[in-house]
Amino acid sequence: MKTLVKMLAAASLFGIVGCTNAPVAPVSKVQAQQAQKKPNVIVILVDDLPWTDVSINKAGTINTPNIDSIGEQGVTFSAGYVAASVCAVSRAALLTGRTPARYGFMYNINDRGNLDAGAGLPTDVPTIAERLKPLGYRTAVFGKWHQGAEPKFYPTRRGFDEFFGFLAGETIYAEPDTPGLVTTPTKADRYEPAKREGGGRLFEGPDMQIVEQPNQYLTETITDRTVDFIRRSAASGEPFFGYVAYNAPHWPLQVPKVYYDNRSEITDPVRRTYVAMIDALDIGVGQILKALSDAGVRDDTIVIFLSDNGCPVQFGYCPEYHPWGAGKFTYLEGGTRVPFLMSWPNGLKQRGRVDAPVSSIDILPTILKAAAPKQAVPQELEGLDLVATVAHPAGAERTLMWSQRPVRAIREGRFKLWHSDDWAQTRLYDLDADPWEVNDLSSAMPDRVRAMKDKVDRFDASLPEAMWPLKSTREMIIGGRKTEFVY
């Protein structure tokens, strides 16, 4: 296995602001000619990383200096959400700027055993890459696709010039017998990590060429591919869009021993391996940021970092001490509230922390507005421009809704309503006063419950039938709270 780089130094802290309504510190003025220049874009999407495990959120013990530097040089969204609490559905939202359930993408794609054969992101729903190509962008995706394994769904047929990665929902990081690799079993392992197969194999290029690299650590390879793309693209002078879809720290738990050894203070081998995987991920993010700086394009590049959903509690490594430390597959806050950071030195006039709710569906409208400010954002896109949100965080109250039948949820201001058709239960929470979501206010506030439930019910009724079926639901206990798991 290749020699590992040393952890990059954290970027200097730029005065972080404590709350949404407080003033944020101004930075240097955007040059007039900058408004006409198309910014480069790097979107870094990680897998199953909870809100707590990015240290800029100050909610845990993990140190992520390179990830933090994105927020330190830009903004940290404390109430950043994704459009679903499970991988494939969440990724579809980011790629299309639309709530996936609106086009029938309601449930996760399960690739093992060909359970969801034919499932994928509909080819008539444009991706970010398909919208950026006409604007002159070079486009690439590296890492996890999980938007369909059939050729028609393949990334280079969905607007991307380049692809390296895997098509399934999960794969190994390297074969377990790789020298210097630690593989740690958990209490919920569904199978033993072995060789890659099916959509878990690595592919590249327009011809779906299979790449054999059994002993290279995949997090490092994704980083290397991204760095190479940045260097080539910057040298070309053309604007570029890179979608960096790390599978870390998703199961299986595998990490080079040097990272594992550096976490000797953690006695639980499961948590220790998981944290070490985040360390490796953070170094990769640092290398990407350094590549942008070395190429002289950092100031002209929008960088967005977020997770696809929260942490899956069943494996035993999630930080359940925090209300948002776990919740994948559920509509507790820990399922959909994720680490969400953005920087654009030449485009963001403010820096700091923003508490206004934002969503992954905001990413595409933000990119299009930055790339073509004189063009109208397509009406079918549901999100808002994050640059405008940062400039005016105390604007109109935002309504966010989720529907993954039989569960749906809605957030309006400080209030969140959760409903299960299976359980015939409706709950109302004040997220400001009760971030753990344990004090149900539905009996005390019937008018608010009625209004919010009517809104989310009408949203659900407007949705088409799911394109592939629900697999299962069950009761789940997370941090002492009973909720419903949907898969």
Q: 232: phi > 0 → left, psi -120 to 50 → alpha, else beta; which?
A: alpha
**Residue 271 amino acid letter:** R
Distance CA 238, CA 139 (A): 10
Question: Within 13 Å, how many C-alpha atoms sit on residue 220's CB side?
Answer: 18
**What is the predicted pLDDT for the residue at 169?**
96
27 vs 349: CA distance, rounded Å: 6
- What is the pLDDT, as a whole number, of residue 290? 98
**Helix H or strand E encompassing 364:** helix 363-371
Please give the pLDDT value at position 36: 57
Count the residues in the chain. 487
Residue 89: how many other CB atoms lie within 10 Å: 24
Diameter over CA atoms, the chain: 62
Q: What pLDDT was estimated at residue 115? A: 78
| Residue 457 burial class via C-beta count within 10 angstroms: exposed 0-12, middle 13-18, buried 19 and up | middle
Element spanning 475, H or E: strand 473-478
Q: What is the pLDDT along the chain (487 residues), one digit of tens a residue?
A: 444 443 333 333 222 233 333 334 444 444 334 445 899 999 999 999 999 999 999 998 899 999 999 999 999 999 999 999 999 999 999 999 999 999 999 999 998 767 788 999 999 999 999 999 999 999 999 999 999 999 999 999 999 999 999 999 999 999 999 999 999 999 999 899 999 999 999 999 999 999 999 999 999 999 999 999 999 999 999 999 999 999 999 999 999 999 999 999 999 999 999 999 999 999 999 999 999 999 999 999 999 999 999 999 999 999 999 999 999 999 999 999 999 999 999 999 889 999 999 999 999 999 999 999 999 999 999 999 999 999 999 876 899 999 999 999 999 999 999 999 999 999 999 999 999 999 999 999 999 999 999 999 999 999 999 999 999 999 999 999 999 999 9
Please, are residues 310 and 48 in contact by the beta-carbon 8 Å criterion? yes
**What pLDDT is attached to residue 9?**
36
Contact 42, 314 (CB under 8 A): no
Please tell me the predicted confidence (pLDDT) of residue 112. Answer: 76
55 Ramachandran zone, left/alpha/beta (phi>0; psi -120 to 50) = alpha
Determine contact, residues 182/308, Cβ cutoff 8 Å.
Answer: no
Residue 385, phi then psi, degrees to nearest 5:
-80, 115
Distance CA 95, CA 129 (A): 8
As a whole number of angstroms, the distance between CA 192 and CA 173 comes to: 13
H-type helices in 295-345, by residue range?
Answer: 333-336
φ/ψ of 106, rounded to 5, equals -105, -30
